[in-house]
Structure 1
């Protein structure tokens, strides 16, 4: 079974999020659309697999690399030899960098190849990863940044009404965090992702102010995000658990994070760091270092499904799935993967278990 074709499908889907999101997070003024890149891999036997890269402004670069660099090398290769193919392509194109569009593109292709493998075997991906009897997993609502305490209150209350008992904020203002905790009460897990804005000193000062809000973790508090020594210092002195790893790109990056003792929670992002093939290695490495894996899955397509399957097979009882708490105009999988009462279904069909809607792919595809 050989790879016969690789097609990149850029999507742009409008969303609302219970109020205007702060433009500083997503890189565009007034942004209320989600840009994503879905990748369709077809074998010479007609089996189709679906993958996804990280979206937003990263889409054009990943699409160009897949179309012009990765796809020509992958077509004709054995679809079953995922790990060999990924390693061969990493080695061949490492001169272009070990992060960014090349790794993002490989991630999407890898996820699609796992989808193909599951379909060929007649098993869901979580069974290929070691097996699971989970039919659902706990999810946390990952809110946009509002930079407005009243909007935070409204949307925390909305998430609680939807059944979530675990929340993630993206705020950098203390009053917004205070609003969330006051609204949620003491029994709700709240995590805070600040997207790497501060120096080590600033992060420590902010940790002092954030400590009363009993955060489960403080995510990526330090700029640059690869300052693992600085991150370790915030972890040691800030007295709040630290999470990071969304911006790590290779297994070596994760090893360096662990060696620096920089994190309590590690957050590999399957659509950014090599797909499921590399993600399963991070689980093994994290287990050796005694660090909890919390997969980053700020996606709505195959990248999210990859996270769900990995969590089901490898995540254990503490697994939580990140759910992007946006109200999309259209969902690739309809309501099949939308959390109910704070829990997300583990697809049981072969491969990733769900097929993207042909209508959504057609209607929201970005055409050149």
Structure 2
């Protein structure tokens, strides 16, 4: 069975976040739409697989790379040679960068090929990965940055009342974290993603001030994200567990993170770092270093499903899934993947287990 066509589908879906968002690495202040790029691969026998690449402002460049460079290389290839194909393309195009548009595009393609493989075998992706005990996994509500203590408190209470026992903040001030802890109470697990803002010295000063809030981890506290030695220093001296990895793009990046002793939690992002094929290797590496994998999942489509399947099969029943705590106007999978009481179902159907709603694709597709 060979690849017959590859289609890139950009979507733009309005959302609210319980108040105006602050500006952040994902977009400008008061962002009210979320862009995503879904990839549809069709084989010569008509089997369809779905993938997703990391979105936001990266979408136009990734779409261009897939349409103009990667798709022509892939048409006609045997879908059974998935891992060899991904390696061939990484090697062929490595001179154009080992991060960004090329790896993001390959990630979406790889996820779609796993979807096809599962449909061929009549098995779910988590079965292909070895099987899963859990039929649902706990989620953490990943809040957008508000930069306003009152808004943080309101949305923390909203998430807790919805059944979430685990939360992620994207705040960068002590006052907003204090507001979150006071609103959540002592029994709710809170993690903090600050998106690489500080020097090592600044990060250590902040961890000293943040220690009282009993954070499960602080995520990417150091600029630049590849300063693995700096992360290791914060981990050793800061008194708060450290998480990182969403900006790592290749297996070697993850190996270097782990060898440097930089993290307590490692966070591969399957829509950014090579898809499920590479994600399963990160789980093996992390296990060898006694580090916990917490898959980064700041998306809502096939990339999210890939994370759920991999977490269920390779992370075990206590794995956590990141749920982007947006109120989207439309969901690509309707209600089927929305968490209930803080838990998300592990799809049981073949491949990724769910099919995108064609009406959502029709109504929210945009031209680039």
TM (norm. structure 2) is 0.99
What residue in structure 2 maps to residue 313 of structure 1?
313
What residue in structure 1 maps to residue 364 of structure 2?
364
Per-residue CA deviations over 1:283-330 (Å, capped at 9, x if unaligned) read: 000000000000000010000000000011000243100000000000
What residue in structure 2 maps to residue 247 of structure 1?
247
3-state SS of paired residue (1:83): helix
3-state SS of paired residue (1:247): coil
Q: CA deviation at 1:81?
A: 1.1
Q: CA deviation at 1:134?
A: 1.6
Per-residue CA deviations over 1:257-277 (Å, capped at 9, x if unaligned) read: 001000000000000000000
What residue in structure 2 maps to residue 47 of structure 1?
47
3-state SS of paired residue (1:23): coil
What residue in structure 1 maps to residue 60 of structure 2?
60
Q: CA deviation at 1:45?
A: 0.6
Distance 1:221 1:57 in 2: 23
| Residue range with higher mean Cα deviation, 352-361 or 19-28 | 19-28
Distance 2:71 2:340 in 1: 38
Task: Check if 1:297 corresponds to 2:291.
Answer: no
Asked if the contact 1:333–1:356 (Cα under 8 Å) also holds between the matched residues in 2, the reply is yes
Distance 1:134 1:234 in 2: 34
Alignment of 1:140-219 (within 5 A): 140-219=140-219
Distance 1:362 1:295 in 2: 30
3-state SS of paired residue (2:80): coil
Distance 2:29 2:299 in 1: 21
What residue in structure 2 maps to residue 88 of structure 1?
88
Distance 1:73 1:31 in 2: 36
Task: Check if 1:268 corresponds to 2:246.
Answer: no
Asked if the contact 1:15–1:32 (Cα under 8 Å) also holds between the matched residues in 2, the reply is yes
Q: Once superposed, what is the RMSD of the aligned Cα atoms?
A: 0.7
What residue in structure 1 maps to residue 126 of structure 2?
126
TM (norm. structure 1) is 0.99
Distance 2:226 2:185 in 1: 34
Asked if the contact 2:309–2:352 (Cα under 8 Å) also holds between the matched residues in 1, the reply is yes
Distance 1:35 1:232 in 2: 34
Q: CA deviation at 1:80?
A: 1.5
What residue in structure 1 maps to residue 3 of structure 2?
3
3-state SS of paired residue (2:316): helix
3-state SS of paired residue (2:303): helix
Q: CA deviation at 1:30?
A: 2.7
Distance 1:218 1:51 in 2: 30
Task: Check if 1:26 corresponds to 2:39.
Answer: no
Gaps of 5+ in 2: none
Per-residue CA deviations over 1:232-288 (Å, capped at 9, x if unaligned) read: 000000010000000000000000000100000000000000000000000000000
Asked if the contact 1:25–1:145 (Cα under 8 Å) also holds between the matched residues in 2, the reply is no
How many aligned positions are there? 368
Q: CA deviation at 1:133?
A: 2.9
3-state SS of paired residue (1:318): coil
Distance 2:181 2:252 in 1: 36
Gaps of 5+ in 1: none
Asked if the contact 2:266–2:292 (Cα under 8 Å) also holds between the matched residues in 1, the reply is yes
Runs (4+) of structure 1 moved beyond 4 Å?
none
